[in-house]
Structure 1
Amino acid sequence: MARSPADDQRQAEARAAARETVGEALAESAFYAARGVRPPAQVIPAAKVGTVVMRLVAATRRELLTFDDLSLCLNRGISERMVTNAADWMRLAVARIPVVRQITTPRGLACDSGIDTIQWRSGSQARLIEKIPFRLTVFDRAAAVLALDQHAMFNGMLLVRDPIVVAALTRLHRDAWNGGDNPAVRDAGGPPAHLVPILACMHDGLPDHAAAARLGLSLRTYSRRVSELLALLGTTSRFQAAILAHRRGWL
C-alpha cells in the first residue's frame, strides 16, 4: 500500500525524535565523562574502523543489533573492497553470535542483493523500515558504534561504552524492530492485484503513455502505480525492478 503524506510526516518526526534522543544522551554522557563518572566516547578515524569493528565482532558473544542501509553508500566514494569487508564481518557475526538483528530499508535490501551485508537469508533476523535514523551497531548491549555521517561507518565512527547511552540506543533499535516489516513476508506471494498489469507493461517495455492507454488509465495514475511498484520492490530503477521481480518469481 502506498504511504500517505501523513505517514511520511510521522516517520520523519520519529526519526528526528530518535536523533534528538541520542544527541541528548551523548551530550549528557560527555558531561559526566569529563568528570570521570562515565566512560568517554571515542572517535575512531576512518583508517581504524575495520580493525575496531573486527575486534568488537570477535568479542561479541550473545547479541548484535544494527541499523544499516547500503543504498546510502552508493556514489559516495565507498570502495567495493570496503563493502565486501562489511559483508565478511556480518558472515562472521552470524556464524558466531546467537542473535543478530539487522534493520534496513527496502531500497537498502534491494541494493544489497548479491552482496549480503544483510544476512537475513543466512542466519540473521531482519526488519524493514522506510528510512533508518542513523547507522548503528550495538554489541552485547555493552558497546555501540555510530557513524559520524549518514553514509558509511567507513568514514569514521563514534565508539560508545557508556551503559546509559548504549541502553538508549538498544531501546530505539527495539522500538524500530517492533514496528518494522519482515522481509520474508514482503517476499511472499506476488504484487497486489492492481500492480500486476503495471508490471506486465514494464516487462513489455511499453512507454508510459502506451501502457496507460493499454490499461485505460490516466498517465498520472499509471505513473503513480509505477512508483508504488518500485517502492514495493525497494528500488528507484525500473531496470533493477525487473531484475528483482524476476528473482521473486513475479515474472
Structure 2
Amino acid sequence: MVFETNALAGAGVDAEDERVLRALLIRPQATADELVAESGQALAAVAAALDRLSRRGLVARIAGEPARFTAADPRTALDALIHPAEQALRRARDAVAELTALFHTARWERPAGGPVEVVTGHEVGRAFVRLQQSAVRDVRAFDRPPYVLAAGNPVEPGILARGVRWRAVYHPDALVLPGAINEIRTLVGLGEQARVLADVPFKMHLVDERVAVIPLDPDTATVQAALVHPSALLDALLIVFESCWERATPLDAAPAEEQISDEDRQLLALLAAGVKDDAIGRQLGLSVRTMRRRIRRLLDLLGAQTRFQAGMQATRRGWI
C-alpha cells in the first residue's frame, strides 16, 4: 500500500519518512526489507527513512539480527515534535504583533506644534482605529454617550487577543443602550476589565501611557477630537483615569457562591451605577413593578437598607 499524504509536514516529517512510518504502524515490528513493498520505496530509501525516524524518536530498533523496528506511540512521539513548533509559531505571532505596533507607533510621534493635535471629520475614526492598533501593553478607556460613530468597537477583540490589558470605565447611560450589557459581557469574556461609574467625565482612549484620543464636540456637525501626546496634560489624564477606576464598580467580578441569576447580577450592577428605575426596566425587559419587587428581595437578601449599601455588599460578595 502506498501512502501519498504528507499530513506530518508541520511536525518536520517529510512525505517519504511518513510513508515508511505509516507502513510500520500497521505492524507490531518489521525489517527494512518488509517495509519496501508497503511503503513503495527502494530498500536504501527505507533504511535512510528508518534512521531519520529513529533519531526523531518515532521508531525504535529492536535488539537482534536482522535489524527489526517498531513504531513509538504517535501521540507521545509526535507531541514532542509538535510542541516546539507550536511555541515557535506563537513567538512568530507575538513578533508580528510587536512589529505591527512599532510600525504604528512610529506614525504617532509627538507633533512639532505641541503636545495636542486636533483631528476633524473622517480623520477622527481613522485616528481612533490607528491608536488602538498601536497598543502594545495596555488601553485605558472612558465610555459614555452620545456616540457620533457607530456604537461598538470591532477593533477591540483583536487587540485583546494579542494579550493587551484593556480597562474600561462605563457611564451608566452607556449600559442602557439596547444590547449594551451583552456586548460588554462578551468583551469581558475576551479579557476586558469593565467597571461602571456615575460620573465618568468624558470619552477617552489612552494607549500605553503614550497617546490619548478625546472627542471634543460630539454633538456638533463637525466632529473633532484631540490627540494628546506625552506631556503634563497626558500625565493628568492618567491620574484622572486611575482615580475613576478605583471608585468604579466592577462589572466583571467572579460569579458568586450564592444562587442568584445573571439577570439579578445585571440589576445589582445597574443599581450600584446609579441607573434610574425606568432605564433598568427597559434594559432588562421588566415592568417597573416587577423590577422594584426584585430590588426589594435583593435588598433583603443582602441585609441592605439602601441601593448604595446593596451595591457595596454585592461587590464585597463578588455578586457584581
Q: What TM-score range do you get, normalising by the shorter chain?
A: 0.5 to 0.7
Distance 1:118-1:141 versus aligned 2 partners, 3 A rule: farther
**Matched residue of 2:122: which SS?**
helix
CA contact (8 A) 1:64 1:97 kept: no
**Matched residue of 1:159: which SS?**
strand
**Distance in structure 2 (CA, Å) of the matches to 1:162 and 1:242:** 45
CA contact (8 A) 1:68 1:102 kept: yes
Whether 1:55 aligns to 2:98 is no
Deviation by residue 1:181-231 (Cα, 9 ceiling, x = unmatched): 11135985659xxxx9xx9xxxxxxxxxxxxxxxxxxxxxxxxxxx96994
Aligned to 2:161: 95
Distance 1:239-1:58 versus aligned 2 partners, 3 A rule: closer
Distance 1:61-1:184 versus aligned 2 partners, 3 A rule: closer
Whether 1:166 aligns to 2:234 is yes
**How far is 1:49 from its partner?**
1.5
**How far is 1:118 from its partner?**
8.1
Deviation by residue 1:1-28 (Cα, 9 ceiling, x = unmatched): xxxxxxxxxxxxxxxxxxxxxxxxxxxx
TM-score, scaled relative to structure 1: 0.55
TM-score, scaled relative to structure 2: 0.44
CA contact (8 A) 2:281 2:287 kept: no
Distance 1:136-1:228 versus aligned 2 partners, 3 A rule: closer
Number of paired residues?
A: 171
CA contact (8 A) 1:67 1:135 kept: yes
**Distance in structure 1 (CA, Å) of the matches to 2:217 and 2:186:** 20
Which AA in structure 1 matches 2:199? K
Which AA in structure 2 matches 1:72? P
**How far is 1:56 from its partner?**
1.5
Task: Give the alignment partner of residue 187 of structure 2, picking from 115, 119, 142.
Answer: 119
**Distance in structure 2 (CA, Å) of the matches to 1:234 and 1:66:** 26
Aligned to 1:224: none
**How far is 1:113 from its partner?**
3.1
**Distance in structure 1 (CA, Å) of the matches to 2:287 and 2:137:** 34
Aligned to 2:217: 149
Q: Which has the higher contact order (CA 8 A, sep 6+)?
A: 1
CA contact (8 A) 1:106 1:234 kept: no
Moved over 6 A (4+): 227-230
Deviation by residue 1:129-158 (Cα, 9 ceiling, x = unmatched): 013101111110011111103669x93210
**Distance in structure 1 (CA, Å) of the matches to 2:213 and 2:117:** 9
CA contact (8 A) 1:107 1:235 kept: no
CA contact (8 A) 1:106 1:235 kept: no
Aligned to 1:27: none
What aligned pairs does 1:233-244 form with structure 2 within 5 A after superposition?
236=279, 238-242=281-285
**How far is 1:46 from its partner?**
2.3
**Distance in structure 2 (CA, Å) of the matches to 1:234 and 1:129:** 17
Which AA in structure 1 matches 2:230? D
Distance 1:109-1:65 versus aligned 2 partners, 3 A rule: same
**Distance in structure 2 (CA, Å) of the matches to 1:177 and 1:131:** 11
Larger Rg: 2
Gaps of 5+ in 2: 1-109, 296-320
Task: Give the alignment partner of residue 244 of structure 2, picking from 176, 186, 189.
Answer: 176
